[in-house]
Structure 1
Amino acid sequence: MFQEALPLWPSGLAESMNVTCGIKARFMSDRQSPALVRVTASSRYRVFVNGLFCGHGPATGPHGYYRVDEWNLAPYLSSGENHVAIETAGYNVNSFYVLDQPSFVQAEIEQGGRIEAATGSEGHPFDVFVLPERVRRVQRYSFQRAFIEAYEFTPGVHDWRSSEALPAAPAPWELQAEKQLLPRRVGYPRFEVALPTDILATGNFAVSDSPAPPWRDRSLTGVGPAFKGYRVEELALLPTDEIGKLAMTGWSRETKRYEGQSLPLQAGEAALFAFGRNLTGFVGLEWTVSEKSRIALTFDEILTEDGDVDHLRLDVANVIYASCEPGTYSLESLEPYTLQYLKVLVLEGGCLITGSSIREYANPYADRGLFASSDDTLNAVFEAARESFRQNAVDVFMDCPSRERAGWLCDSFFTARVEADLTGDSIIERNFFENYLLPDSFAFLPEGMIPMCYPADHNDGVFIPNWALWFVLQLEEFRDRGGDEATIAALRPRVDALFRYFAGFRNEFGLLENLESWVFIEWSKANEFISGINYPTNMLYAAALAAAGRIYGEEAYAEEAAAVKQTVREHSFDGTFFVDQAIEDEQGEIEITDHRTEVCQYYAAYFGIADAEELPAWFESLMRDFSPSRNADEPYVADIRDVHPANAFVGYYLRMELLSRHGPSAQLLEEIKAFFGKMAFRTGTLWEHNGTQASCNHGFASHVVRALYRDALGIQSLNRDQGTLDVVFTDNGLTSCSGMMPTPVGDIALSWRVENDTIYYRLKVPPTMAVSVENRSGKQLVGEE
């Protein structure tokens, strides 16, 4: 992929923590010849051309492999001499976001087919520096991510990006081991810059008379052999301790529309900016200081009840810190963060803020799908789902773009559907499976097990066996979406090894018992009933076996799946509901408990353990008695007071699928509005839970897009592999709806409106697509040209 470039890093620092390297090249351009910079790195890099931001990467790859990006330089070039500057942060710590691998950068500039500069080249090299402004010995941002950003700025600190200036003395460098390279494949973000909508408030702060105890998250206290970082006593500064001692002494709550106006702040003063909705990207601030000053930027997705920013709400250090000598500065974070509100505190000195921004880091194709209905809340939910997807699906399916930026299984099962629905393709999903395919093995995990999230480091040996089963379910859907057959076939040994692992936990009934590590059903009471025989896990196990049988034509898997399903059905159903757990008593006998959860019922229905025909009363209770806003004191069918409520994930997402599958679409849309509406209007994104105690921007929540396309618009199913489309009209309570869904062979456009007892609709599809239209609405159906 590279013609000349070789991987390099400043000498002796390839395995040092939190080193930021700068490389720079100058070349002459006539602006007529096409030019690009080709680059990859460990851990993260960003490119500037003549001082202008050009790109950030690399795209995520598995252990031992690195994806190569190619950035078009043409929009940034001028005739004559041009400057390309690349900053790379090498973290060398284990995390769920970037891998603990030796630091390097590998880059080359190509213009008109010739190489103008290349790392490691003798004839036209890059200059190499260790950038001095980033403070190395700082705290981790979170347990799941690497370090916070803290800087010591001096005048002209960034001049080297656009001039002959040098940021530091050139550093000796050494070549690194040859790297295994992969194509980026996924799309390049557009990096749109968003400005604040408002200055919500300004205020004063001082050291509190009764400060809270210092924040000591596991990202601070857990540093050791299995969790790399700097111990508290090794830190050069600890911004969360300093900020934790402060308290606001007064606010001026006069909201002002942000129009780029300057804002002077002195020591002990703060300003609060609002961006209108949750955004993910690189936080920017421009300011001037006339004396030595220190500032801190804190941020979050929501405000506290008293209208402030809690930068520790997510158990993360949402802080960017800078000390600066007199001068003018422009800071843009190297790492992406998620926020709706930005608070600037002047800890020392004073400053004149002249600009604030977020450079978005998001999926570039999420706007291809369209949806609009007669219900404003559903429209807002769709847009919030789109935002949640685009911010959580840059190059891997993430759980959240804030705390973790981690590619979790199970989450990915749901988000992968949305990629296909909104973008018309499954490119990220292909990379996702390739990441799991390529490593020879996964360190710290038992043989056969796959990581619960990846690419990630799991030094503590923790894994979720259930999530490995969702991997198999997603693999089958990837195939049905027209996924890469070579990747699916190559994953067969990994799938077989996974089931060999599970075979070691099958008991005399053929059920999984006493699984290792973190058995996870969902964040609810169900996770307290996981020891012994956990029936929801076995329901999922049966579904994964059946999926593997269909993918690979393996009859043995299908037979095992049928046997597990039958045994679970016989053991778990107590006559009214399915029970979650059985345990072995002191005599070695299996005792079925009376623990029953709502989510267990959803597992049973979704994975076909029982259905409405077999158990009509149970199923009617499931549809009518339960919901995110259930009233256990007034059941329709059965007493559900001792059936513990479900949580958002995966319980209510399975519920949405079941409501769709069995017809009450109007009920489903009402439940969607009740559950997601408040999220859409408060943050413009969808949340991890029903409340704000965790992430307010979660990738799996975008799955509601699937429900709105299917149950509001009427695109019941689309098989991209076979080129078939099923459209079903139901009585869903809407008076009109329209939408567009992209596909690899063209767009599907559907619109309809209700007039009296007639539905008038228009449908346009690619010419190669076979279409079935079904009317279940009870109204007359009329197609229009």
Structure 2
Amino acid sequence: MLNKSQWISCPGLPEKGCVVFYARKRWQLAALPASAMLKISADSRFRLWINDIFVGSGPVRGSTVLNFHEVFEIAPLLRIGENEFFAEVWSQREENFVFHSLEAALWAEVRGMLYSAPGDGWEVKPARGWRSDVPHYTLQSGFMEWYDFREETQPESWCPAITARNHQLLAKKLLPNPLPAFPESSLRPVEALSWYAVGPLDIFDAHRIPDVLSEEPHMALSPERIVNPSALFSGKGAVILRPGAPGEGLGVILDFASEVSGRLEIELDAPAGTTLQIAYGEALSGGRIATKFSMDYHFTDAFILKDGRNLVTTAFSERGFRMVAISIRNFDRPIRLERVSGINRRYPFMKRGSFFSSDYRLNRIFEVCTETLSACASDVFMDCPWRERAFWVNDLLVNNLATLHCFGASELHRHCLELAFSQPHPSELLSAVVPMPKMAGQCDFIFAPTNLYMMLILKDYWHFSGDDATVRRYLPDIERIFNAIWRLADSDGILRTSGVTAEWNFYDWSFEENHLCCNNAGESMLSSLYLIASSTFEEVATALGHDFDRSELQRRRALTARNFETRFFSEESGLIEDELRSTDDLTPVKRSTQLAHALWLLTGEASPRVAEICRKAISDESLLKPDYYLHYFWFQAAASAGKAQEALDRIRRYWGRCIDTGSPTLYEAGIHTFGKQAMDGSGSLCHAFGTIPVAFLHEVILGVRALAPGFREFSFAPNRFDLDFAEGRIPVPVPSGCIRVRLTVEYTELTVPAGCTAVLPNGVRLNAGFHKLKAT
């Protein structure tokens, strides 16, 4: 018997496009084992059955150098005599922001029992019901799922598995999935926004389906064709859909009124050959869900049904949506629609952090931010459930800190750090997206600012987790990043992007939304970030006993600080001026921004005169504001400048405008553009990188800031502002679990967990226990 598994594949697959193949292995058991741990992975996804019992799916996403395998205990499913392993393997066979897919392949192992390898009884065959030549669902997340259920009954001979040949796949490190199992919850739609009749559609012309859905007329539908439509919401009985005139189908737009991150399930009884198309969205555009954009976005799946019961869902891809449009065509007898459900599949966070006050809108902002963070957490911290489902490492600056405030430290934080640091690049810098795709016409996604954020991300994680080992693990990587970034410095220590870092020097969308960019530009923010990140590194590395070249780090920092104001401060305008570029023609443009002044103020290196100018400039309405995302820095600068009230006013104004729409989640853009107006109409309505107000509510209003890892020591300086009361919890990694605060007009209450100490502004230290103080 073999004692090492190999990656296996299937012959006869289409040369292009995404593919599915089946794999099986039959083997005999004379006795039942007490335990049988099955390890299994695939490029890109698998679904697994043992002895006709569904076991699970996976794997979690990896990077360009890492794959992960799932582990299942299958001993209870085994039997004396013949046993069967059966898997469906779906492979994108392209590189995008979700899958680094190289070859359709499967890997499986039960030690001492089962090892995937060609020539050892492993059989495979192409899954003919899955169409390969299909459009992208979105460019970033991969292909549409197009499946013909009738092919399930078509016999096809099995053939021996072959060895996977892609060297990059074979060279990837294979690690166990460290994440807990994700629970699933089911939601029914709350409303049918419209029922309508539609004309015919050639489902075999897959690339035309999104265009047809976007352009076809929605015609009046005879009420007699829909019987018991309320069953969609009540779950009592079924909806009966009656056929219309030849060539006439019907459609419905269903609203779930919340963000679903997982999949859609449709259970129905229909005649063979019925076709079904699904479009997914978050809002209507012109009375329908948009499936045609300036980018390669289609948000569409398609199916052909078999006779009888069908359970229609995306078998391998996850989808995000608030609304769906379902079109059903080509049926000549009544259809029994049993169920339409949205299936949420999110990381199993516990909502440990809280905030509640006399201001409804602030409470709602905290709730909406918490829901947004939950909806954007799966096997990574995603940017959004609907459009990309990508792990943008730059977003981790906010996603990391905000989830720490709302949920506390988790395995997902550690997993995302491992992914972020895993991908090598010749520049020795990290990619801003994991996995990093090689896509025609695209840059390498090496964002210089993102690399400097990593030290700030580690410190935020350290404060909430007290996890010295994880932070210490990545300090050598941070040193390499600093050395690589320093190659961008000129003789004055001023950093300017070049090479791969100049291709897309991304900060936040406030620049692009105003026809500006920082690509190959002489801007100040990178030098400020270098000062902030390198001083943070020195602080953390010293505390953890990490050996580094302190004198060289300090020399570089002093050089940058000494020359910064000479280079960027304009005596003419009396402001820091950046050389940016116009996105219209790439010509240089001189601009002053609130972000540049906030960052220079946060370095602590500004001269007294310029520091005072910066304190004023961050409030200057004539200067470009950051969008939601990089208020991470603006709120810190405002607090340090004594402008906490202004920061609170800004939260109420700009985050409040999103809350006032009734949206259950936070928009991607809310300052320069709004909601769906962003990104040429493809703006996300659930985007986690804007959730930084949760940190302000905890740190400034409740007044709790970590001074030591794990909140072993924290400052306590609450500010009730105009609130009648405010209270909340801040999760900490000690047995009692939370710091509790309650503020009223008369008193302040603080509960300090065991192992923690609070430090008041006057230096008084409060040990573990309950403390009631007079309000100030």
Q: Same fold (TM over 0.5)?
A: yes
Tell me, in whole angstroms, the C-alpha distance in 2 between the residues paired with 1:178 and 1:644: 47
Matches within 5 A, 1:189-268: 189-206=182-199, 237-250=207-220, 258-260=233-235, 261-265=237-241, 266=243, 267-268=248-249
After superposition, give the CA deviation of every residue in 1:537-559 in whole Å (9 maximum; x if it has no partner). Answer: 22223323334444364331222
1:524 — aligned with what?
510
Q: Which amino acid aligns with 2:451?
A: A
Work out whether 1:646 is the aligned partner of 2:646: no
Tell me, in whole angstroms, the C-alpha distance in 2 between the residues paired with 1:53 and 1:661: 56
Work out whether 1:758 is the aligned partner of 2:741: no
Q: Is the 8 A contact 1:45 1:56 kept in 2?
A: yes
2:688 — aligned with what?
699
The CA deviation at 1:407 is 2.0
Q: Is the 8 A contact 2:194 2:252 kept in 1?
A: yes
Equivalent of 1:435 in 419, 423, 427: 419
The CA deviation at 1:61 is 2.5
The CA deviation at 1:36 is 5.2
Q: Is the 8 A contact 1:549 1:556 kept in 2?
A: no
Tell me, in whole angstroms, the C-alpha distance in 2 between the residues paired with 1:492 and 1:668: 33
After superposition, give the CA deviation of every residue in 1:84-131 in whole Å (9 maximum; x if it has no partner). Answer: 653321111011111032232223468xxx74x5533988x6654432
Tell me, in whole angstroms, the C-alpha distance in 1 between the residues paired with 2:646 and 2:155: 62
Q: Which amino acid aligns with 1:356?
A: V
The CA deviation at 1:181 is 1.8
- Contiguous gaps of at least 5 residues in structure 2: 165-169, 582-586, 764-770
- Over 3 Å counting, the alpha-carbon distance change for 1:370 and 1:477 in structure 2 is closer
Tell me, in whole angstroms, the C-alpha distance in 2 between the residues paired with 1:179 and 1:620: 52
Q: Which amino acid aligns with 1:684?
A: P
After superposition, give the CA deviation of every residue in 1:70-89 in whole Å (9 maximum; x if it has no partner). Answer: 24569999999997653321
Matches within 5 A, 1:733-752: 733-746=722-735, 747-752=737-742
Equivalent of 1:358 in 325, 333, 342: 342
Tell me, in whole angstroms, the C-alpha distance in 2 between the residues paired with 1:31 and 1:202: 55
Q: Is the 8 A contact 2:404 2:461 kept in 1?
A: no
Work out whether 1:296 is the aligned partner of 2:277: yes
Equivalent of 1:135 in 114, 131, 138: 131
The CA deviation at 1:336 is 0.9
The CA deviation at 1:653 is 3.4
Matches within 5 A, 1:555-570: 555-570=551-566
- Over 3 Å counting, the alpha-carbon distance change for 1:759 and 1:132 in structure 2 is farther
Tell me, in whole angstroms, the C-alpha distance in 2 between the residues paired with 1:678 and 1:293: 44
Query: Secondary structure of 2:570's partner?
Result: coil
Q: Is the 8 A contact 2:397 2:457 kept in 1?
A: yes
Equivalent of 1:278 in 255, 259, 262: 259
Equivalent of 1:120 in 117, 121, 125: 117
% identical equivalent positions: 19
2:321 — aligned with what?
339
Matches within 5 A, 1:412-427: 412-427=396-411
Q: Which amino acid aligns with 1:247?
A: P
Query: Secondary structure of 1:417's partner?
Result: helix
Q: Which amino acid aligns with 2:450?
A: W
Equivalent of 1:287 in 268, 276, 282: 268
Tell me, in whole angstroms, the C-alpha distance in 2 between the residues paired with 1:52 and 1:738: 49
Q: Which amino acid aligns with 2:444?
A: V
1:769 — aligned with what?
756
Q: Is the 8 A contact 2:464 2:732 kept in 1?
A: no
Q: Is the 8 A contact 1:291 1:325 kept in 2?
A: yes
Tell me, in whole angstroms, the C-alpha distance in 1 between the residues paired with 2:104 and 2:7: 9
- Over 3 Å counting, the alpha-carbon distance change for 1:205 and 1:168 in structure 2 is same
Q: Is the 8 A contact 1:17 1:136 kept in 2?
A: yes
Equivalent of 2:451 in 444, 468, 475: 468
- Over 3 Å counting, the alpha-carbon distance change for 1:24 and 1:498 in structure 2 is same
Equivalent of 1:349 in 331, 335, 349: 331
The CA deviation at 1:262 is 2.7
After superposition, give the CA deviation of every residue in 1:650-692 in whole Å (9 maximum; x if it has no partner). Answer: 2x33223333444554543443233234434543121211112
After superposition, give the CA deviation of every residue in 1:612-647 in whole Å (9 maximum; x if it has no partner). Answer: 885435414524x44xxxxxxxxxxxxx2xx33432
After superposition, give the CA deviation of every residue in 1:215-245 in whole Å (9 maximum; x if it has no partner). Answer: xxxxxxxxxxxxxxxxxxx976432133233
Work out whether 1:581 is the aligned partner of 2:578: yes
Tell me, in whole angstroms, the C-alpha distance in 2 between the residues paired with 1:405 and 1:382: 23
Q: Is the 8 A contact 1:529 1:595 kept in 2?
A: no
- Over 3 Å counting, the alpha-carbon distance change for 1:684 and 1:126 in structure 2 is farther
Matches within 5 A, 1:356-505: 356-439=340-423, 441-442=424-425, 446-459=426-439, 460-463=442-445, 464-481=447-464, 491=474, 494-505=477-488
Question: Which range is displaced more, 415-424 or 672-681?
Answer: 672-681
Work out whether 1:571 is the aligned partner of 2:567: yes
- Over 3 Å counting, the alpha-carbon distance change for 1:502 and 1:35 in structure 2 is closer
With the length of structure 2 as denominator, give the TM-score of the two structures. 0.81
Tell me, in whole angstroms, the C-alpha distance in 1 between the residues paired with 2:644 and 2:155: 61
After superposition, give the CA deviation of every residue in 1:259-303 in whole Å (9 maximum; x if it has no partner). Answer: 125334443311111112111102211122225221110010122
Q: Is the 8 A contact 1:465 1:517 kept in 2?
A: no
2:167 — aligned with what?
none
Question: Which range is displaced more, 470-479 or 575-584?
Answer: 575-584
CA root-mean-square deviation = 4.0
The CA deviation at 1:742 is 3.2
The CA deviation at 1:193 is 2.4
After superposition, give the CA deviation of every residue in 1:161-195 in whole Å (9 maximum; x if it has no partner). Answer: xxxxx974324212344763213222221122222
Q: Is the 8 A contact 1:437 1:487 kept in 2?
A: no
- Over 3 Å counting, the alpha-carbon distance change for 1:348 and 1:341 in structure 2 is same
Tell me, in whole angstroms, the C-alpha distance in 2 between the residues paired with 1:23 and 1:611: 68
Q: Is the 8 A contact 1:37 1:108 kept in 2?
A: yes
Q: Which amino acid aligns with 1:768?
A: G
The CA deviation at 1:330 is 0.2
Matches within 5 A, 1:138-177: 138-154=134-150, 168-176=156-164, 177=170
Tell me, in whole angstroms, the C-alpha distance in 2 between the residues paired with 1:197 and 1:28: 50
- Over 3 Å counting, the alpha-carbon distance change for 1:480 and 1:284 in structure 2 is same
Q: Is the 8 A contact 1:271 1:343 kept in 2?
A: yes
Tell me, in whole angstroms, the C-alpha distance in 2 between the residues paired with 1:489 and 1:716: 22
Q: Is the 8 A contact 2:150 2:272 kept in 1?
A: no
Tell me, in whole angstroms, the C-alpha distance in 1 between the residues paired with 2:173 and 2:199: 53
Q: Which amino acid aligns with 1:284?
A: E
The CA deviation at 1:386 is 1.9
Query: Secondary structure of 1:11's partner?
Result: coil
After superposition, give the CA deviation of every residue in 1:436-470 in whole Å (9 maximum; x if it has no partner). Answer: 4445x33xxx5323212122223544332222222
Tell me, in whole angstroms, the C-alpha distance in 2 between the residues paired with 1:327 and 1:715: 60
- Contiguous gaps of at least 5 residues in structure 1: 158-165, 209-233, 585-590, 627-639
The CA deviation at 1:428 is 2.7
Tell me, in whole angstroms, the C-alpha distance in 1 between the residues paired with 2:3 and 2:635: 51
Q: Is the 8 A contact 2:720 2:726 kept in 1?
A: no
Q: Is the 8 A contact 2:16 2:133 kept in 1?
A: no
The CA deviation at 1:196 is 1.9
Work out whether 1:659 is the aligned partner of 2:671: no
1:631 — aligned with what?
none
Tell me, in whole angstroms, the C-alpha distance in 2 between the residues paired with 1:569 and 1:612: 12
The CA deviation at 1:344 is 0.4
After superposition, give the CA deviation of every residue in 1:40-88 in whole Å (9 maximum; x if it has no partner). Answer: 2211223456877654422233323222222456999999999765332
Q: Is the 8 A contact 1:388 1:701 kept in 2?
A: no
The CA deviation at 1:338 is 0.9
Q: Which amino acid aligns with 1:342?
A: V
1:212 — aligned with what?
none
Tell me, in whole angstroms, the C-alpha distance in 1 between the residues paired with 2:649 and 2:52: 51
Tell me, in whole angstroms, the C-alpha distance in 1 between the residues paired with 2:82 and 2:686: 43
2:173 — aligned with what?
180
